[in-house]
Structure 1
Amino acid sequence: MKPQPIQFATPADDREELARAEIYGLLAQLFVAPPDAAFHAQLRVAPTEAPTPGGFLEPAWGEVVAAARRVPPDAVAAEYDALFLGVGRAEIFLYGSFHLAGALNDRPLVELRADLRTLGLERADGVSETEDHIASVCEVMRFLIAGDDPEICNLEQQRRFFRIHLQTWAEALCAAIEAHPRADFYRAVAGFLRAFVEVETQGFDLID
């Protein structure tokens, strides 16, 4: 099945835009840490219909729900630690710089920080992850969709940020997770991220 591009909503009907923002927020929550018991319980009982209209996302979202029902919270936490934390060195890095430049804290992070300054955004105090962590990038996309400053939170800013800071490396991250033998719950999450990025890519292409 080919991805059906999102038809970006008009200001008068922003339900689809808010749904997009919610998906970015959900992905950020899943990647910043393993789901706690309450969040895991919500995933287990979630409807398997896609969180946003469009059948292309439904199989991938259904896999996330099925994985939550199959893998208990402690096993998900152990999987997260094994994949993304590790002892000394992570098995899979969740940082754009690594996938774009082959090293952490490299030029892609410098360029991202410059763009974030232009947007008036900066890393919150107490946050240890650098800004090119996939969760942080998804949070910025959520802000650019749902924020209330039209000078910053608009479709053109979304498209530019997405193309430079997410589309360029999301595929590599998803492939690394899906290929890892320890991945189970996060294989499903990676599949959902991949499907969503494909839909977003086609949607942004339509407004060229």
Structure 2
Amino acid sequence: MKPQPIQFSTPSDEREELARADIYGLLAQLFVAAPDADFHAQLRVAPTEAPTPGGLLEPAWGELVAAARRVPPDAVAAEYDALFQGVGRPEVFLYGSFHLAGALNDRPLVELREDLRALGLERADGISETEDHIASLCEVMRFLIAGDDPEICNLEQQRRFFRIHLQTWIEGLCAAIDAHPRADFYRAVAGFTGAFIGVETQGFDLIE
């Protein structure tokens, strides 16, 4: 069944907007590193009702919680390393530039940095990952939804950033994870990510 779009409207429905921001924050945590013991334990006991109003993501969320209950933390950490770390070239790249241009640190990263500067954002000191890492992009979306400055944190900025820097390659990332023979917990993460991005895509379609 095709997911129904989240209705982006006015800031009056703050609960829905905060739920969107929370999901982007969750995805950032899941992709920046394997869940530590505390985070993994929270996932294991999480309710399986959809984390957004209306039950739109309930099946994919249930799969993710089930994967956390099935796969122990050490196995999740080993899976993360096998898929996204590795020695030399990772099995699956988490960087938009690679998926869009076939190489790291390519033109998409340059364009992303220009857009981030226009938003008044820059990479924090001590962060080794480039700005086109999926976790970083999810954090930007979280900021654009939940931030306090209406000149920057508004639906139009969300829509533009999403269209250019996430929608263009996230489906390919999810497909690559799903197809990898070592993926188990992260196959569920990819499924939830893809479902959420599909809902976001339809929601942004409604405001154009």
Indicate whether the TM-score tops 0.5.
Answer: yes
Partner-residue secondary structure (3-state), 2:56: helix
Aligned residue pairs total 208
- Distance across 1 between alignment mates of 2:13 and 2:175: 35
* TM-score, structure 2 normalization: 0.99
Same amino acid, percent of matched pairs: 89
Aligned: 1:21 with 2:21: yes
Asked if 2 retains the 8 angstrom alpha-carbon contact of 1:2 and 1:56, the reply is no
Counterpart of 2:172, as a letter, is A
Partner-residue secondary structure (3-state), 1:55: coil
Asked if 1 retains the 8 angstrom alpha-carbon contact of 2:44 and 2:66, the reply is yes
Instruction: State the Cα distance separating 1:7 from its structure 2 match.
Output: 0.8
Which residue of structure 2 lines up, in the alignment, with residue 56 of structure 1?
56
1:176-202 CA-to-partner distances (Å, cap 9, x unmatched) read 000000000000000000000000000
- Distance across 1 between alignment mates of 2:38 and 2:46: 12
Which residue of structure 2 lines up, in the alignment, with residue 172 of structure 1?
172
- Distance across 1 between alignment mates of 2:54 and 2:98: 32
1:10-47 CA-to-partner distances (Å, cap 9, x unmatched) read 22331100000000000000000000000000000000
C-alpha RMSD of the superposition? 0.7
1:75-120 CA-to-partner distances (Å, cap 9, x unmatched) read 0000000000001110000000000000001000000000000000
- Distance across 2 between alignment mates of 1:12 and 1:201: 21
Runs of 4+ more than 3 Å apart: none
* TM-score, structure 1 normalization: 0.99
Asked if 2 retains the 8 angstrom alpha-carbon contact of 1:92 and 1:176, the reply is yes
Instruction: State the Cα distance separating 1:8 from its structure 2 match.
Output: 1.7
1:147-202 CA-to-partner distances (Å, cap 9, x unmatched) read 00000000000000000000000000000000000000000000000000000000
- Distance across 2 between alignment mates of 1:54 and 1:199: 12
Asked if 2 retains the 8 angstrom alpha-carbon contact of 1:9 and 1:16, the reply is no
Which residue of structure 2 lines up, in the alignment, with residue 192 of structure 1?
192
Instruction: Choose 92-101 or 45-54, whichever is displaced more.
Output: 45-54
Asked if 2 retains the 8 angstrom alpha-carbon contact of 1:9 and 1:15, the reply is no
- Distance across 2 between alignment mates of 1:28 and 1:166: 13
Which residue of structure 2 lines up, in the alignment, with residue 85 of structure 1?
85
Partner-residue secondary structure (3-state), 1:2: coil
- Distance across 1 between alignment mates of 2:126 and 2:28: 17
- Distance across 2 between alignment mates of 1:49 and 1:72: 22
Instruction: State the Cα distance separating 1:9 from its structure 2 match.
Output: 4.4
Which residue of structure 2 lines up, in the alignment, with residue 97 of structure 1?
97
- Distance across 2 between alignment mates of 1:157 and 1:11: 14
Alignment of 1:14-163 (within 5 A): 14-163=14-163
Partner-residue secondary structure (3-state), 1:128: coil
Counterpart of 1:194, as a letter, is G
Asked if 2 retains the 8 angstrom alpha-carbon contact of 1:9 and 1:17, the reply is no
- Distance across 2 between alignment mates of 1:167 and 1:154: 18
**Unaligned segments of structure 2, at least 5 residues:** none
**Unaligned segments of structure 1, at least 5 residues:** none
Asked if 1 retains the 8 angstrom alpha-carbon contact of 2:11 and 2:17, the reply is no
